[in-house]
């Protein structure tokens, strides 16, 4: 049995040393997930701790099929989404076609420091940040986002387009690229 399997098995048996080791190994990565969906670091820390309690309570449900890290990330994302749903109601902003001709190529972000880009994403309005993170970072489809958040697929698409537009405006404002809007 490989080391991770032993660690998971020990966690299933409720061994505190194994739980502590699992936390030490994955907390930094999972904190990043929580931070993307939280208002601030304090809320992200709370979500991380609540998420690990869930992981330890549900670890016996992990059947060694698929990635254990992916399984834990899904728990953290779902917990974060649950908290987001209680904070605000998602609403459609505008017709997505408004932004189609205005969005720049993704390469405009290549020269930007990753930490700065994450800071810009963190400063998006909550409903836009949520959809942006789910779609662009965590790989959810608009259908999955609509089901998870209880919104229409069109609302998901609209919120993603608006998030991209806001990010692009900030990048232009910071001088990374010139204006790319149709004149």
In a domain, 92, yes or no: no
The answer to whether residues 82 and 103 belong to one domain is no
The answer to whether residues 108 and 57 belong to one domain is no
The answer to whether residues 75 and 111 belong to one domain is no
> Cα(55)–Cα(74) distance, rounded to whole angstroms?
10
pLDDT (average), residues 157-163: 93
Number of structural domains, the chain?
A: 2
pLDDT (average), residues 44-51: 95
Q: In terms of pLDDT, which residue wins out, 94 or 120? A: 120
Q: How distant is the alpha carbon of residue 98 from its chain centre?
A: 25
- The pLDDT of residue 89: 55
Residue 176 corresponds to which tokens in the numbers above? 């990374």
The answer to whether residues 136 and 64 belong to one domain is no
Q: Any idea what the CATH number is for the domain that residue 44 is in? A: 1.10.1740.10
Positions of E strands within 26-132: none
Q: In terms of pLDDT, which residue wins out, 91 or 64? A: 64
The answer to whether residues 13 and 77 belong to one domain is yes
Query: What's the chain's average pLDDT?
Result: 83
pTM assigned to the model = 0.70
Domain end point (choices 64, 87, 110): 87
pLDDT at 94 over 50: no
pLDDT digits (tens, 9 = 90+) for 101-147: 444 444 444 455 667 778 888 889 988 999 999 999 888 999 999 88
The answer to whether residues 15 and 82 belong to one domain is yes
Domain end point (choices 87, 113, 129): 87
Host domain of residue 16: 3-87
The answer to whether residues 75 and 107 belong to one domain is no
- The pLDDT of residue 113: 66
Q: Any idea what the CATH number is for the domain that residue 160 is in? A: 1.10.10.10
In a domain, 30, yes or no: yes
- Only one residue has tokens 């700065």, namely 116
> Cα(78)–Cα(55) distance, rounded to whole angstroms?
12
pLDDT digits (tens, 9 = 90+) for 21-47: 999 999 999 999 999 888 889 999 999
pLDDT digits (tens, 9 = 90+) for 11-28: 999 999 999 999 999 999
pLDDT at 98 over 60: no
Domain end point (choices 63, 87, 111): 87
């Amino acid at each position: 049995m490989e080391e991770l399997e032993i660690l998971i098995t020990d966690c299933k048996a409720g061994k505190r040393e194994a739980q502590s080791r699992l936390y030490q190994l994955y907390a930094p990565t999972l904190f990043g997930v929580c931070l993307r969906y939280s208002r601030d670091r304090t809320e992200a820390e709370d979500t991380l701790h609540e998420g690990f309690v869930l992981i330890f309570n549900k670890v016996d449900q992990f059947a060694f099929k698929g990635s254990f890290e992916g399984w834990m990330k899904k728990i953290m994302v779902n917990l974060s989404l649950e908290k987001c749903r209680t904070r605000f109601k998602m609403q459609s902003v505008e017709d997505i076609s408004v932004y189609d001709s205005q969005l720049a190529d993704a390469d405009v972000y290549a020269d930007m420091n990753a930490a700065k880009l994450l800071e810009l994403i963190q400063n998006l309005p909550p409903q836009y940040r949520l959809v942006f993170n789910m779609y662009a970072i965590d790989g959810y489809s608009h259908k999955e986002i609509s089901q998870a958040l209880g919104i229409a697929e069109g609302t998901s698409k609209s919120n993603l387009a608006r998030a991209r537009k806001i990010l692009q405006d900030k990048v232009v404002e910071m001088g990374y690229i010139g204006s790319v809007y149709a004149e």
